Structures are given as C-alpha cells and as structure tokens.
Amino acid sequence: MSNTLIVYYSHSGNTRKMAKIITEQLHADCLEIIPQKPYPQAYNAVVNQAKHEISQNYQPDIKDIQIDLNKYSTIFIGSPNWWSTIAPPILTFIMQNQNHLINKEVIPFCTHGGGGFGHIPQDIKRLCKNATVLNGFANYGSSINLQEVKKWLSKLDI
C-alpha cells in the first residue's frame, strides 16, 4: 500500500499523462476527478465555460470518490491551468475534502499552454490551509520531459 496519492483532473489528456508518469515514478495510487457533467470538447466552448465558472468560484458536481484519503500522507493535486488557477472540478475536490487534507503534504502540478503555474501554488496553499504545500511542477504542452519530472520528484525527497 502506498502512502502517496496522485489526484488529478484532465480535460485534454495532458494532465492525465503527467499524473500517470508521477504515479509510475512513485509507485503511488492514482485518482482521477471526473465531473458529473463533462465539459464540452470544443475549445472555445470549454474556454468560455471555464472562464465563467472560475469567475463565480463554481464547484461542479464530481463523481463519488471511492478512496479513503486518510490513509495517505502525501497527496499530489494536478490540474490544467485554466485562467491562471485550478480547474473547477479540482476546486470541488479540495472543498469537499479539506478535513482530509489536514496535516498532509500537498504537492501541486499542472499542465499549461503558456501560462505557467499562474497562481495555482498560492491558490492551493490558500485552500489547503492546514497542509504543508511543497514545490510543484508546471509542464508546458503535451510533451512531458521524463528527466525533468524525475529531477523535480527527487528534490521533493518523498
């Protein structure tokens, strides 16, 4: 049993790819956050919806999580960078599980199309007040440099 969990939401598949690499490198458990109502696939439609939801701090319904978060001491939280922050399904996950994140090591990661980390690390720290938030990793585009991921993970010393 691993004491590390990789939690992520992925719209295009880039964040899923990143989560799978981290999972494999750490021999960790993995949990995909899935919204009850999928986002549109058309780029402009999802951009407009995401922009609106984020401006409203909207928390979409997500599918039930069938995992005991209490058994993990380290939780990676991955999201695409949407308007410089986490995607709304990840906001829902964090808000629904704040009590389960107390005294945990929380490590953010994101994929982006040019916006870098935005303010994702600060947002995670604000939302996970009683957790220790470690340095995260932001990956540009769909290509993931395995050596860079390994280097980041080794610096975390987990």
Query: How does pLDDT run across 91-120, given as a tens digit for each residue?
Result: 999 999 999 999 999 999 999 999 999 999
Its pTM stands at 0.96
Query: How does pLDDT run across 31-62, given as a tens digit for each residue?
Result: 999 999 999 999 899 999 999 999 999 999 99
CA distances from 116 to 11, 97, 98, 145, 153 (A): 17, 26, 25, 15, 18
Size of the chain, expressed as the number of residues it contains: 158
**Alpha-carbon gap, residue 111 to 145, rounded angstroms:** 12
**Alpha-carbon gap, residue 120 to 109, rounded angstroms:** 8
Residue 1: the pLDDT is 54
**Alpha-carbon gap, residue 115 to 5, rounded angstroms:** 26
Domains of the chain and any CATH numbers? 4-156 (3.40.50.360)
The distance of Cα 95 from the centroid of its chain, to the nearest Å, equals 13
